[in-house]
Chains A and B, each alone.
Chain A
Amino acid sequence: MKVLVCISNVPDTTSKITFSNGDTEFNTTGIQFIVNPYDEIALSKAIELSEGGKGTITVINVGEASTEPTIRKALATGADKAVRVNAHPRDAWFVANQIANYAKHEDFDLILLGRESIDYNGTQVAGLVGELLNIPSVSIAKKISIEDNKATIEREIEGGKEIISVPLPIAIGTAEGVAEPRIPNMRGIMSARTKPLEVIDAIEVPQLAKVIKYETPAPRGAVTLIDAAEAEKLVDLLHTKARVI
C-alpha cells in the first residue's frame, strides 16, 4: 500500500499567539514549531498500516526551508521519504493544489492528513484534495481500518457516529481515536538523517482567499467569586444577570 501523509508545520500547542506588522502576520518570534498534532495521528496510522513491509509512507509538506526540522521529525517517527513543496503555505486552496499535483503522478492508495491544522483550523485540505483528484474524502475520521482495497471509517456526526465503507483511493482527515501519536526513537532519529527529502517547485494557483488581519478575543472581566456554600446565588446570577439559564 502506498500512503501519502500530509503534514503542517504549526506553532507548539502551548504558544502564546501574537501578531506583528499591524496584526497582519503571525509573530513567529520565540515560537517552537511542531508537526501538527492531528497530522501526527495521520502519520501514526500510516505507520500502523504499513508495518511489516505492508506499505510505504511518503510525507509531504508545503513550506519553506524552515519547515525541514518538522519534516525530519516525521521521517524519524517512521515515514520512508519526504517531499517538500518549496513555497509559503498561504491558504488551503494553494496547499491542496500542491498536494494534488504531486499525488496525481504517484498512484497513492491512501492520503492521510490531520482533520485540521491547529493554526488555521480549516478542515479544508482533505475535501479539497479529494475533489481535485476526483476521489472520495472523509473529513473527520475517528477510526480507520483497511481491508480488501476498502476503508471502513467511523465518522463523527452530531450526537453519534456513522460507519462508512469507501473504496480506495481516498483522502481522510484524521482525528483523535484513529491512532496514538508515536514518539521517534533513537534509531528513527539516526535514520531520518539519511532518508530522502525531495524539494519540488510549487505550481501556480489563483488566490481565492487571503487573511488580511488577525484579532485576538476581547479580554474577559475579573471573575466573580461565589462562596462554596451559596450554590443558589450562582444560579440566581446565571439567571438574572448573565441570562444564560
Chain B
Amino acid sequence: MSVLVFVENISGNFKKSAYEVVSYAKTIAKSVNKELVAISIGDVSEENLLNLGKYGANKILTVNADNLKSFVNQAYASIIAQAAKQEDAKIIVLSNSFSGKGLAPRIAAKLEAGLADGVVELPKIDGESFEVKKTAFSGKAFAITALRSDIKVLALNANSFEIREDAVEAAIVNFEGSPSQEDFGAVVKDIVRATDKISLPEAEIVVSGGRGLKGPENWGIIEDLAKALGAATACSKPVSDAGWRPHAEHVGQTGIAVSPNLYIAIGISGAIQHLAGVSSSKVIVVINKDPEAPFFKVADYGIIGDAFDIVPKLTAAINAHKDS
C-alpha cells in the first residue's frame, strides 16, 4: 500500500502548490507508515523530478509522451488511476487547481473512491475512520466529510498546507500507463498565459478593487500596489459585471474563492457574497471611505479614507520598506 500524489507542472516546472501537495501527502504517508509515490505527467526535467525527493517523495513515476505534453483530462485521469492500481495506493492526493478539479472526479469515478475536494486540513485517520475538513457554502462554512471507500481521493486547496522539507532518496521510474484512444478526444488548440501575472487562486497576496475605484481607467493604482507587493490583482462582482475587469479576476461566492496570506480590499463595501470568497484569507486589510462599510467588521486592519489618496502612499511605503 502507498500514498500517491499527482504533481502538476506548468511548462515543465513545479509551482508552489505542487510542493504543497507533496508535503501534505508526505505527512499523511508518514502517519500511516507508507511510502509516498509521486506521479508527474508531461515533459519535466530529471532535476525538477528529483527535487520532489526534497519534500519526501520516495518514488517518482514519470510519464512523458508527445500527446501528454498538454493537460488532457481523460488521458491523465486514466494514467493516474492505473498508477494508483499498480502502486496499491489507498490515498490519492492532488491539487484542487483548475485542472485538478477536472481530474479528481474522473479518477474517483474510475476507482469508485470517495472524493473530498477543497480540502484545507490533514485528515483524521483512526482505524477504519477517515475524516477530512473541506470548504463548503462558498467559504461561509466547513464540512467535515467521512470517506468510507477503500480508496480515497483528496484535492487540496492552494495555500492550505505549508511546504515542509523532508528529504529522502528519490527514485525516478518511467511509467507508461495505457490510456485508450478515446481518452484523447479533446485536442488542445491554444494556451495563453500571462507570464507577468501571478495566478489568483495560488497567490499569497491579493490586491482587490471594487466600484469605489469609479472606473477601469483608475486600475493603475491597484496594479502598482500589486506590483510592489508581488501580488495578484482581483475585483468584486459588480466590477467584472460592468466589464471593467475580466471575470477571471472576480473573487466571491460566484467567482473564485481565495485564501492568501494577505487580502487588500480597496473600494469594496463587503457584500456577504464577496466576503464568502475571501473569508479564508489569513489577514484582511480594508481601505474604504465609508466607515460603515460591512467589510470593516471582518477586517484585521482598516484605513478609512479616499483610495485615490491612500493607495499611492501605501505603494510608496511598500517600496520604501523593500529598499530598507
A→B interface (CB under 8 Å) = 11, 13-14, 16-17, 19, 26, 37-38, 92-93, 96, 115, 118-128, 130-132, 134, 136-140, 142, 152, 155-167, 175-177, 206-217, 220-221, 223-228, 231-232, 234-239, 242, 244-245
Query: Which of B47-55, B60-68, B86-94, B138-146 lies at the interface with chain A?
Result: B138-146
- Answer whether residue B77 sits at the interface, using C-beta atoms and an 8 A cutoff: yes
- Other-chain residue from B115, B149, B257, B310 in contact with A124 (beta carbon distance below 8 A): B115
List 5 A-B pairs, minimum CB-CB distance, nearest first: A127-B105, A228-B305, A160-B193, A208-B114, A131-B109
Question: Which residue of B is nearest A19, CB measured?
Answer: B141
Q: Nearest Cβ distance between residue A213 and chain B, in whole angstroms?
A: 4
B300-A221 in contact (CB<8A): yes
A159-B194 in contact (CB<8A): yes
B144-A215 in contact (CB<8A): yes
A118-B253 in contact (CB<8A): yes
Q: Nearest Cβ distance between residue B113 and chain A, in whole angstroms?
A: 7
A232-B104 in contact (CB<8A): no
Q: Nearest Cβ distance between residue A131 and chain B, in whole angstroms?
A: 4
Question: Which residue of A is nearest B151, CB measured?
Answer: A208
B136-A214 in contact (CB<8A): yes
Q: How far is the CA of A119 from the CA of B136 in the complex (A)?
A: 6
- Other-chain residue from A11, A127, A142 in contact with B104 (beta carbon distance below 8 A): A127
Residues of A within 8 A of B229 (CB): 245
User: Which residues of B81-119 have CB atoms within 8 Å of chain A's CB atoms?
Assistant: 96-99, 101-106, 108-110, 112-118
A118-B193 in contact (CB<8A): no
Residues of B within 8 A of A118 (CB): 137-138, 253-254
A244-B141 in contact (CB<8A): no
Interface of B is mostly: mixed
A164-B189 in contact (CB<8A): yes
Interface string of B286-299 (1 = CB under 8 A from A): 10000000001111
Interface string of B187-198 (1 = CB under 8 A from A): 111111111011
Interface residues on B, range: 35 or more
B262-A245 in contact (CB<8A): yes
Question: Which residue of A is nearest B201, CB measured?
Answer: A158
Q: Nearest Cβ distance between residue B189 and chain A, in whole angstroms?
A: 4
Q: How far is the CA of A113 from the CA of B110 in the complex (A)?
A: 21
- Other-chain residue from B104, B143, B303, B320 in contact with A120 (beta carbon distance below 8 A): B143
Question: Which residue of B is nearest A128, CB measured?
Answer: B105
Interface of A is mostly: mixed
28 contacts between A and B (CB under 8 A): A14-B272, A16-B272, A17-B141, A118-B138, A118-B253, A119-B138, A121-B138, A123-B96, A123-B117, A127-B104, A127-B109, A131-B77, A132-B109, A136-B185, A157-B71, A159-B199, A160-B197, A161-B248, A163-B192, A208-B112, A212-B131, A213-B144, A217-B142, A223-B296, A231-B303, A231-B317, A234-B303, A245-B262
A127-B104, A157-B193, A245-B321 as given contacts; A121 in contact with B301, CB under 8 Å:
no
Question: Which residue of A is nearest B112, CB measured?
Answer: A208
B73-A138 in contact (CB<8A): yes
B110-A131 in contact (CB<8A): yes
B186-A166 in contact (CB<8A): yes
Residues of B within 8 A of A225 (CB): 301-304
Given A127-B104, A158-B193, A220-B300, 10 more A-B residue pairs with CB atoms under 8 Å apart are A118-B137, A136-B185, A157-B99, A157-B191, A158-B98, A159-B194, A210-B145, A223-B296, A225-B301, A235-B318
- Other-chain residue from B145, B247, B296 in contact with A209 (beta carbon distance below 8 A): B145
Residues of A within 8 A of B321 (CB): 232, 235-236, 239, 245
Q: How far is the CA of A130 from the CA of B289 in the complex (A)?
A: 48
Q: How far is the CA of A225 from the CA of B288 in the complex (A)?
A: 11
B303-A14 in contact (CB<8A): no
Query: Which of B23-31, B32-40, B276-284 lies at the interface with chain A?
Result: B276-284
Q: How far is the CA of A99 from the CA of B314 in the complex (A)?
A: 52
B314-A231 in contact (CB<8A): yes
B254-A139 in contact (CB<8A): no
Q: How far is the CA of A161 from the CA of B186 in the complex (A)?
A: 15
- Other-chain residue from B98, B149, B261 in contact with A155 (beta carbon distance below 8 A): B98
B300-A212 in contact (CB<8A): no
Q: How far is the CA of A119 from the CA of B268 in the complex (A)?
A: 24
- Answer whether residue B313 sits at the interface, using C-beta atoms and an 8 A cutoff: yes
Q: How far is the CA of A223 from the CA of B296 in the complex (A)?
A: 7
B182-A235 in contact (CB<8A): no
Interface string of B149-179 (1 = CB under 8 A from A): 1000000000000000000000000000000
B102-A140 in contact (CB<8A): yes
Q: How far is the CA of A176 from the CA of B139 in the complex (A)?
A: 18
- Answer whether residue B205 sits at the interface, using C-beta atoms and an 8 A cutoff: yes
Q: How far is the CA of A206 from the CA of B141 in the complex (A)?
A: 26
Residues of A within 8 A of B306 (CB): 228
- Answer whether residue B2 sits at the interface, using C-beta atoms and an 8 A cutoff: no
B186-A165 in contact (CB<8A): yes
A210-B148 in contact (CB<8A): yes
Q: Nearest Cβ distance between residue B186 and chain A, in whole angstroms?
A: 4
- Answer whether residue B309 sits at the interface, using C-beta atoms and an 8 A cutoff: yes
Q: How far is the CA of A118 from the CA of B201 in the complex (A)?
A: 17
